[in-house]
Amino acid sequence: MKIIGINGSPRKSQSRTGQLVQEVLNSARTAGAETEYFNITDVKLNFCFACGKCHEVGYCIQKDDFESLMDKIMAADGLVVGSPVYIYQITAQLKVWVDRLGGPTIHCQKLLGKYGAVVATSGSAGENETAQYLESTLINTGMQCVGRVAGSIEVDGLLTPDSSLMQYAKELGLSLVRAIENKQEFPEQIQAHQQFKEYFRYVILQQKEAWNWEYKYWQEKGWL
């Protein structure tokens, strides 16, 4: 079992979000998973420039780290994504990655069958809305989300190992491993995937010529 973690904070070793994402991974490792961790600011990601080529060819034509990160995610069973709250949203650095999912990853539900977990930290407010946004994003890719750690941390500095958020992160890691092992089903999320497909089917049919690769993917999956 393989689980990837991504921290959307630029503060790397000083990031509380990163501590929590790593704690989820540490706990998953104790339950037998292999893990890999990334700080988003170490991943070279350009803005999506909306060329639309990904719909046609099935991958992003930009020469940066996006496709290699996605290859790792595609080869994994689980994904943990965390962000600090920056003015009631995820960080701009992480949003660049999210925008790049807008091609085949979301349109073709490429992460169907995988499981996700999210982390959000704030200084005072907005952590639940930010966690909710991350969960919706993961569900939009076809994943099922097992839960979140969302906390407001009003003091400076790193979290102590015995803090309640670190304990929640441990539990979240175990939940993630269990969901993967048991192929757990979250009915509301499965329904959301089905609703997406019902609606998006018409978009794919309309864009048949322009979005050649995505049309073929849907055809091969028998979703049309």
Ligand X SMILES: Cc1cc2nc3c(=O)[nH]c(=O)nc-3n(C[C@H](O)[C@H](O)[C@H](O)COP(=O)(O)O)c2cc1C
Q: Which residues are at the interface with ligand X (CB under 6 A)?
A: 9, 11, 15-18, 84-88, 121-126, 153
State the nearest-atom distance from the C-beta of 23 to ligand X, in Å.
Answer: 13
State the nearest-atom distance from the C-beta of 29 to ligand X, in Å.
Answer: 21
User: Considering Cα of 24, then 165, then 146, then 133, what sign does the dihedral take?
Assistant: negative
Among residues 4, 134, 142, the alpha carbon closest in space to that of 72 is found at 4
Nearer to ligand X among residue 23 and residue 214 (C-beta): 23
CA 191 distance to own-chain centroid:
19
Structure tokens at 61: 């034509």
Among residues 150, 143, 186, the alpha carbon closest in space to that of 169 is found at 150
State the nearest-atom distance from the C-beta of 78 to ligand X, in Å.
Answer: 21
State the nearest-atom distance from the C-beta of 21 to ligand X, in Å.
Answer: 9
φ, ψ at 157 (rounded to 5°):
95, 170
State the nearest-atom distance from the C-beta of 93 to ligand X, in Å.
Answer: 11
CA 7 distance to own-chain centroid:
10
Nearer to ligand X among residue 93 and residue 137 (C-beta): 93
Nearer to ligand X among residue 154 and residue 185 (C-beta): 154
Please give the Cα distance from 102 to 10 (Å, whole number): 23
Please give the Cα distance from 50 to 175 (Å, whole number): 37
Nearer to ligand X among residue 49 and residue 88 (C-beta): 88
Nearer to ligand X among residue 17 and residue 175 (C-beta): 17
Nearer to ligand X among residue 17 and residue 35 (C-beta): 17
CA 197 distance to own-chain centroid:
19
Q: What are the DSSP calls for 37-81, one per residue? A: EEEGGGS--PPP----HHHHHSS--SSSSHHHHHHHHHH-SEEEE
State the nearest-atom distance from the C-beta of 20 to ligand X, in Å.
Answer: 8
